[in-house]
Amino acid sequence: DVKVTQSSRYLVKRTGEKVFLECVQDMDHENMFWYRQDPGLGLRLIYFSYDVKMKEKGDIPEGYSVSREKKERFSLILESASTNQTSMYLCASSLWSGTNEKLFFGSGTQLSVL
């Protein structure tokens, strides 16, 4: 089974701190994604990556950056955390394919910014 692992289940940070959320997948997937999930808003795509060192902005990239130095690892960075970034963050991966869009998700990181 594909495993997508997020390094932290819960994080509490202060406003202005730099925050790193780590995600690792073990199935050699080309594509990796970061979503945030908020009540009433559903899942919204922050960034995705379709190859090492490649990244594309999603729907809500402002205030975030990403890093993909190795194929299995995709990091989400909050340069200066703000209270409106309190949310559930979900990482996902998928095979590159025009006909297979099935995503595999990690268990999520609940981030609270105080």
Partner 1 sequence: EDKVVQSPLSLVVHEGDTVTLNCSYEVTNFRSLLWYKQEKKAPTFLFMLTSSGIEKKSGRLSSILDKKELFSILNITATQTGDSAIYLCASPGAGSYQLTFGKGTKLSVIP
Strands (E), 39-108: 42-49, 56-57, 65-70, 73-78, 87-94, 104-105
Binding-site size for partner 1 (CB under 8 A) equals 29
Tally the residues of the chain.
Answer: 114
Report how far residue 2's alpha carbon sits from residue 106's, in angstroms, rounded to the nearest whole number.
10
Among 27, 41, 52, 114, binds partner 1 (CB under 8 A): 41
34 part of the interface to partner 1, by CB under 8 A: no
Encoded tokens for 48? 């995705």
Task: For partner 1, give the closer residue by CB, 38 or 79.
Answer: 38
Q: Which residues lie near partner 1 (CB under 8 A)? A: 4, 9, 31, 33, 35, 40-45, 48, 50, 56, 58, 88, 90, 94, 96, 98-99, 101-108
